[in-house]
Amino acid sequence: MTDDVGTWLYAVAEEFPGDRLDGLTGIGGRPVRAVAAAGLTAVAGTVDLAEFGAEAIHKNMEDLDWLAANARTHDAVVRAVADDRAVIPLRFATIYRDDDRARALLVERRADFVVALRQVTGRSEWGVRAYCDPDALRRAGAAAPSGRATTGTDYLLRRRAQLEERSTAAENAMTLAAELHACLIRFAVAGRQNPPQHPQLSGAADWTVLNGTYLVDNESVERFTEQVAELESARPHVHCELTGPWPPYSFTNLDVS
Amino acid sequence: MTELQPRPPAHVPDDRVSLVDLLDRVLAGGVVISGEVTLSIAEVDLVHISLRALVTSVSALAEGNHP
């Protein structure tokens, strides 16, 4: 009976020897194994459904510590495999009844996986977040009058100037984001701008103007990272953070012709 | 044989930021295939307030990010 356990899938790659996964520990502290079919290998592990079954996992995902620990483990396994081969990461909590069902998936979706693997081979994902001092964004617009309002009309004029200043700053932020993105995409195969994270999350007082992620050819990584540094040094009020290499989480549905 | 070991990213700015980066990718990225036990996490209603606060990427220009 296999009612109490399931097969957790981490990633799919072109078939490789299963012993390359020896010693790798996955979710729940259990070993990671290769499940092969149709010339593909799914990197898999066993999970207890008491903890990871449909009902339990919904509840457990509300526990941030649980989520963080398991997300890190999932990523660590994907990353370990991605270290020396192209992989398609599977989304967190893709769980099959058993290995046979996972093999059936590989057979059925082989063509899709092959295309997806081709798109990420020899490439990695890089995240670039750019922060900007909001004052600098406001300064780029017209300055609002200073001092105290003395009349109602004066107040209204000042209020309008403040609102204009604010929307100017927002527009400047968008212009800056588009500018940075356009510079970075030249050194990438693909890229996209994600919504900036909330300042409470990023912990930064500055505005996040760009939260971009890019798929970069391995031979272009140096030029890409240099470009990040150049963009930053050319703009004193902008601070960039680079993360990577990541497995290609954001580029598994690429339509690259 | 090359031994495979988990390796941290080459550039890790900050624990909190990197967890958000990680969750953004692990929960929202990757190939979505309907597992038979757990359907896609995309369908999970992330109701818990602290979790939602962490994983929801808020559009800075639309709300909340302006002082």
Its ipTM equals 0.81
Strand ranges, E, within A49-189:
88-89, 95-96, 123-132
Distance CA A220, CA A226 (A): 10
DSSP secondary-structure letter at B48? Answer: -
Comparing CB atoms, the residue among B4, B44, B58 nearest residue A197 is B58
Whether residue A15 contacts residue A41, with contact meaning beta carbons closer than 8 Å, is answered with yes
Block residue for tokens 């080459």: B10
Read off the pLDDT band of A94 (50, 70, 90). Answer: confident
* Cα nearest neighbour of A199 on chain B: B65
At residue A50, the pLDDT reads 92
At residue B29, the pLDDT reads 80
A215 vs B48: which has the higher pLDDT: A215
Which is nearest to A241 in space by CA: A132, A165, A161? A132
A113 vs A59: which has the higher pLDDT: A113
Chain A / chain B CB contacts < 8 angstroms: 205
A150-174: pLDDT as tens digits: 788 888 888 888 777 777 888 888 8
Q: Which residues of A touch B14 (CB under 8 A)?
A: 203
Comparing CB atoms, the residue among B7, B20, B29 nearest residue A201 is B20
Whether residue A35 contacts residue A42, with contact meaning beta carbons closer than 8 Å, is answered with yes
Q: Which residues 10-39 of chain B have a CB within 8 Å of chain A?
A: 10-14, 16-33, 35-39
Whether residue A126 contacts residue A217, with contact meaning beta carbons closer than 8 Å, is answered with no
Query: pTM value?
Result: 0.78
